Amino acid sequence: MLQVLNTPNSILSQKSVPVKKIDKNLIEFVSGMKQALEKAKDPIGVGLAAPQVGENIRVFLAKPTLKSKIFVFINPHVVDKENLASQGDALQDRNENKKKRIRKLEGCLSLKDIWGEVKRDSSITVEYTDEKGKKYTKTFNGFMATIIQHEIDHLEGILFPRRVLEQNGTLYKSEKDEKGGDIFEEIKI
């Protein structure tokens, strides 16, 4: 079974390369990624990018709820780039004609017990191919949009704490209390 890599691992900070063809090896790799995502329980995994399991290719998975299917994104490309957090104006106030941006607490399977508030677009349009070779252009909203932006950051070699720092946000370390609940403590940087 594929294992999720933790920081510091250099592959997590490298830009991923496009998938050239969808073949048996890629299908098997995606199957292994699905198993690794399903295995992630603390926290529950909602997304997983290929670099997180050691392959520097442009593939990620998203599973927004416990009961939802796992979505496979191969060579994803954001169509609506003007509203991505990576754009230069992303940290400035947006005028009313721009899409709404929301701040949510994010974590990462490669950064155990680290959390941070990241401002992401509430809606994003992506072109991608699935594991069967079917091409899509779809708009995703809410939590799914957040997952996609987080995973695309992974494909660009960007971990979410960088976004937190760019946005002058706060990072937190979590630990369990005696009842198994999460306690969050601010990390001073």
Catalytic positions, please? 151
Q: Is there a contact between 185 and 159 (Cβ–Cβ < 8 Å)?
A: no
d(CA 126, CA 66): 23
